[in-house]
Amino acid sequence: MNDNTRLALILLCGCAVVLVQMLPWLPWREIRPDLVLSVVILLGITAPLCRGAGLCWALGFLLERLSGIPPGTGQLFYLFFFLLIRLLQRFFQFQTVASAFALLCVGQVLKYGYFSFLFFVVYEYASLSEHFLMTWLFETLATLVVGPLLYAGLQRLTAETKDHLLAQYVIYHGRRLQ
Amino acid sequence: MLQFFARKKRLLFLLFLLALTLTLLARDTKRSRLPSFVDRFLLALFTPPLRITSKAFGTASLLWHRYLALVNTQRDNELLRSQRDTLLMENRLLQEQARENERLRDLLGFKQRHTFHMIPAEVIGQDPTSWFKSLIIDKGSDDHVVEGAAVITPEGVVGRILKVASSSAHVLLLIDVNSNIDAVVERTRARGIVVGTGSSRCRFSYALKTDDVVPGDRIVTSGLGGLFPSGMLLGTVVFVSNDKSGFFQHIELQPAVDFSKVKEVFIVLSGRITP
């Protein structure tokens, strides 16, 4: 599978994930995981910089146009998180599902800070504090349970093996050393 | 110059994405909206798969409830029959009162009330995030649904139409933080605005400290603005506090509708005056 096909497949999976999050009959109607975060992590680890960033932006855009989220909110977060993963890749290797779990934790913590800033400073939803914390907690728990499974599935589906990832890592760091 | 752009194209692309995102954010703080064709296109794109999955689940659920889970059917039937009899009697009384009301209004020379045309719709999707509260229904502009139209159930108000595609529409729920509905206390006619908090409860804002509001009071739509029929139940007051400084009371209400269980709704189309 070449890079473009793989990226198209990941984008398709991203759309499917958004669709799944919109289904009204799923058990997590109130406690909903952020499944797009797993797709962003996969893109952050495996996709080329520009195309990966573009896809993260597109997924954020899709999510927020189908939701009540103010425009720009989701895109900025996913783009920022994607770039952070790229930055962290300079220091760490992210090859296993456990590392994806760690990234999900980082993502959810960042989301707390980001949404706090947006909700309380930019949009001035001052009365939300208690509910905000509960929503974030439930979302984090659900994301940490479902996210790694989704990541593992996506990784398998897009034929990203450990060896492939390792080869990419070596190429990436080799380039940097040059 | 061209060499510079060629060398820095990745950085420039990222800066472009960032600038685009910040522009969208800045646009929203001024409460402006993206061209609606983008929303319409995306909503239309996602409607068929949502409709199919919703139908599939509906069929499975129907099979289960009609053929497999019939343990309490006999008891439910008896209960429903007795409830139906009571409601029929109540309905006759109310119809009689309504006719009397109309006659009296005629005698007093009052202007006739608005009547509203309603169409049923089915919920086929929900907000993909946990942070905002919205639903997707299977009726759109093909069925004359317009942005801002009220969405209700027999229990009470659900919300209003936010975006419309050809065969589906996005409903902003009453409990969403962006929702504001003009309302009155049914018992005392004290006015205020029901504001969503993003949680399962709403706030009844701008009720003066002198207004008589107690827990258990029903809050209904005022009918001002013409979107919602007047007297539609929004919720019941569950908490009242006068402690805070300022002119207004802190009032919380429990919405009449259980939003996690809404499957069918009615869309209130534009009101017309009865002759």
Contact B24 A115 (CB under 8 A): no
- Which of A14, A8, A49 is closest to A168 using CA atoms? A49
Ranges of residues in chain B with a pLDDT under 70 are 1-2, 27-35, 68-69, 110-115, 244, 270-275
Number of other CB atoms surrounding residue B147 within 10 Å:
14
Mutate which of B28, B129, B179, B203 to test chain A, going by most A C-beta atoms within 10 A?
B129
Calpha distance B15→A126 (Å, rounded): 32
Chain B residues within an 8 Å CB radius of A25: 53-54, 57, 61
Structural domains in chain A plus CATH codes: 3-173 (1.10.1760.20)
- Predicted confidence at residue A171, as pLDDT, reads 61
- Predicted confidence at residue B18, as pLDDT, reads 84
Last residue of a domain, one of B46, B80, B113: B113
Last residue of a domain, one of B80, B113, B146: B113
* B:4-23 residues touching chain A, CB 8 A cutoff: 9-10, 13-14, 17-18, 20-23
CB distance B122 to B51 below 8 Å: no
Contact B57 A25 (CB under 8 A): yes
- Predicted confidence at residue B115, as pLDDT, reads 65
* B:30-89 residues touching chain A, CB 8 A cutoff: 34, 38-39, 42-43, 46, 49-50, 53-54, 57, 61
Give the pTM. Answer: 0.78
A156-159: Cβ within 8 A, 24+ apart: A157/A9, A157/A13, A158/A1, A158/A6, A158/A9, A158/A10, A158/A13, A158/A42, A158/A46, A159/A1, A159/A6
- Predicted confidence at residue B275, as pLDDT, reads 34
Q: What's the residue count for chain A? A: 178
Does B122 lie in the same domain as B51? Answer: no
- Predicted confidence at residue A124, as pLDDT, reads 66
Last residue of a domain, one of B58, B80, B113: B113
Chain A residues within an 8 Å CB radius of B10: 49-50
pLDDT tens-digit profile of B91-125? 989 988 888 888 887 777 766 665 678 899 999 88
Structural domain harbouring B14: 1-113
- Predicted confidence at residue B111, as pLDDT, reads 62
Does B122 lie in the same domain as B109? Answer: no
Mean pLDDT by runs of 10 across the 178 residues of chain A is 81 89 72 89 88 90 82 86 90 83 92 83 66 84 91 79 61 56
- Predicted confidence at residue B272, as pLDDT, reads 45
Calpha distance B83→B102 (Å, rounded): 28
- Predicted confidence at residue A32, as pLDDT, reads 82
Calpha distance B199→A127 (Å, rounded): 10
- Predicted confidence at residue B267, as pLDDT, reads 92
- Predicted confidence at residue A108, as pLDDT, reads 92
Q: What's the residue count for chain B? A: 275
Calpha distance A19→A111 (Å, rounded): 21
- Predicted confidence at residue B30, as pLDDT, reads 46
Look at chain B and report how many structural domains it folds into.
Answer: 2
Contact B197 A79 (CB under 8 A): no
Does B143 lie in the same domain as B256? Answer: yes
Measure CB to CB from residue B14 to each of A19, A53, A115 and give the nearest one. A53
Burial A153-174 (b: 16+ CB within 10 A, else e): ebbeebebeeeebeeebeeeee
